[in-house]
Amino acid sequence: MTKFKLVILIGLILFGANQVNAQLENFRSKSSIGVIVGGSYYIGDLNKYDHFKNTNLSFGLIYRYHVNSRLELRTSLRYGRVEAYDSESERPDQIARNLSFESPLYEVTGGLEFNYLNYKLGNKDYFFTPYMFIDIGLFKMNPQTEYNGEMVELQTIGTEGQNSDLTEKNSYSLTQLVVPFGVGFKINLGERAAFSLEYGIRKTFTDYLDDVGKGVYLNRTELAEQNGNIAAVLSDRSPSDIQMTGQRGNAETKDWYSMFGVMLTFSLGNPDICYYR
């Protein structure tokens, strides 16, 4: 190889490396990562209407990619916990049913964030905006309840006769599709950080976050023979002299949960002052 060709090759390699580095820097300048701390609660058969009731701590991580001044891509990983108790209801039928549950929630989602105003992290002129978001993802649940001083996992025991001859139902999946959506407000804290407030509600496609689905109350004796005494007891925790009948829950609606809180996000690269990028 001649010296001229060698110089050209080295030049091309350096140019390519410079271009790759420029693209990486541009990617970093449009990227931010942050932490989320807040609360989570549930709406379903054991808590039909009371938002924020039995709120538990939630937290997670969020990544945002700035597409332009009005649009950001986002992905998040979150943990939360939900719980509810028939004993806290004002409805006599729920108090008699006497069910309860709690469940951890592990959620991974990705989606879009729409800014109402022009916004860019680090920009002094376009430094705040309300926004809305919509995501799609998966969450993992594990409904449990307290029995004789211990927590019992409900999915495996079949409180509505799952995996028995009494119904045609199989066990529900603990991993489910979820569609989070909601609103927020964000404001820059200097050139490299931003603070956000966000509230989101989660549309699920399961009625078993609380282990109460569209099944009917089964005869306790028959259920005990098929799925065991614990399944029979936890399927209907009303007084022993009462035999509940009909649907255990509302068969027409699915369960929902919410995650909300505050975020602190940080730019991964040098701030880009051009808000149109």
Instruction: Single out the residue of 143, 256, 255, 135 nearest to residue 201, CA to CA.
Output: 256
**Average pLDDT for 206-227:** 88
Kindly report the pTM of this predicted structure. Answer: 0.86
Quick check: 1 pLDDT over 80? no
* Residue 159 near residue 235 (C-beta atoms within 8 A): yes
Residue 11 lies in a domain: no
Domain count, the chain: 1
Residue 276 lies in a domain: no
Quick check: 139 pLDDT over 50? yes
Residue 104 lies in a domain: yes
Q: Which of 9-18, 158-167, 231-240 is predicted least confidently?
A: 9-18
Quick check: 273 pLDDT over 80? no
Residue 181 lies in a domain: yes
**Average pLDDT for 19-43:** 78
| CATH code for the domain in which residue 209 is found | 2.40.160.20
Q: b/e per residue, 5-32, with b = 16+ CB within 10 A?
A: eeeeeeeeeeeeeeeeeeeeeeeebbbb
What's the pLDDT score for residue 215? 76
Distance CA 131, CA 150 (A): 43
Distance CA 237, CA 229 (A): 12
The confidence band for 104, taking pLDDT boundaries of 50, 70 and 90, is very high
Residue 182 lies in a domain: yes
Query: What is the CA 276 to chain-centroid distance, rounded?
Result: 31
Range of the domain at 215: 32-267
